[in-house]
Amino acid sequence: MGDIAEDETTFYSNAKDYWKEIPPTVDGMLGGYGSISSIDINGSKAFLQKFLGVRNSYVSQLREEGEGKTGTGCALDCGAGIGRITKRLLLPLFKTVDLVDVTPEFLDKAKSYLGEDSKRVGNYFCCGLQDFVPEHGRYDIIWIQWVIGHLTDIHLVEFLQRCQKALQPYGLIVIKDNVSYEGVVPDELDSSVCRDLEIVHRLVGRAGLRIVYEEQQKNFPKEIYQVHTLALR
C-alpha cells in the first residue's frame, strides 16, 4: 500500500468509526453476505485439517520434511467480531480460543453468541491489531481473516513478526482475505485496502515468514473479490 492518501491516525479512526455502526450479527460481520458463512467455515476447516489431522497425506509429507503436526491447545481469532469464526471453526478444534477485536460492542455480543462454549474462551482483547502484542509462545494457530486490509504495510509486517513469536512449536499463522486483481484498491467506506496476492506475498516475506501452503476459497459469489488462504511459519 505504499502511501495512504489520508494520514495513519485518520485511517485507523475512520475504520473504528465504521465498525461501531455495524450491527453485531453474522450478516454485519460479513458485509451483508451472511449467506456465505457456511461455505467459508467449511473451506477453512478443510484447510486447517491439513495441519491438524493425524491420518493425512499432507501432514505425513510435512513430517518427512521435518515439520511437526500443529497442536490443538490454543488459537487466536484476530478481528474476531462477534466470534463467528471462533464459534464454528476454532472452538470445535481447539481447547481454548482468545479473541481480539477493536470494537467493544462486538466482543460483548460474542459472550452471548458463543453460548456455553464461551467457557473455553481464554481472553477477550479489545485492541486494534496495530497495537496488539500476543503472548509469547501461547498459540498453536493465529487466525487472521478479513482484517489485514485495516493495517498499513508497516503495521502488518510488524504484527506478523509479533505473531511469529507468539507461536507454539509447529504453530501456524493463517491469513484468509480478499485479494485484488492488481495493486492496492482502497475502500473509503470502511477505511481499508485490498492488496493483490503478489503484494501480500512480499509483505509476508518482509516479516521473515514463509508460506507453507496456500489455496483459493471456492464457491464464493462471483461479484466479490477472490479470497485466498495462506498458512505461514
| Residue 217 assigned ligand-binding role | no
Whole-number Cα distances in Å, 149 to 4, 59, 76, 201:
12, 30, 18, 14
| Residue 161 assigned ligand-binding role | no
Give per-residue pLDDT as tens, 172-214: 999 999 999 999 999 999 999 999 999 999 999 999 999 999 9
Give per-residue pLDDT as tens, 133-187: 999 999 999 999 999 999 999 999 999 999 999 999 999 999 999 999 999 999 9
Instruction: Give the pLDDT band (50/70/90) at residue 65.
Output: low
| Residue 185 assigned ligand-binding role | no
| Residue 131 assigned ligand-binding role | no
d(CA 25, CA 23): 6
Looking at the whole model, is its pTM more than 0.85?
A: yes
Is the pLDDT score of 57 beyond 80? no
Query: Based on the number of CB atoms within 10 Å of its own CB, is 103 exposed (0-12), middle (13-18) or buried (19 or more)?
Result: buried
| Residue 152 assigned ligand-binding role | no
| Residue 129 assigned ligand-binding role | yes
Q: Regarding the domain delimited by 8-42+70-232, which CATH topology (the fold level of the hierarchy) does it fall under? A: Rossmann fold (3.40.50)
Count of helices and strands (H, E) across the chain: 8, 9
| Residue 233 assigned ligand-binding role | no
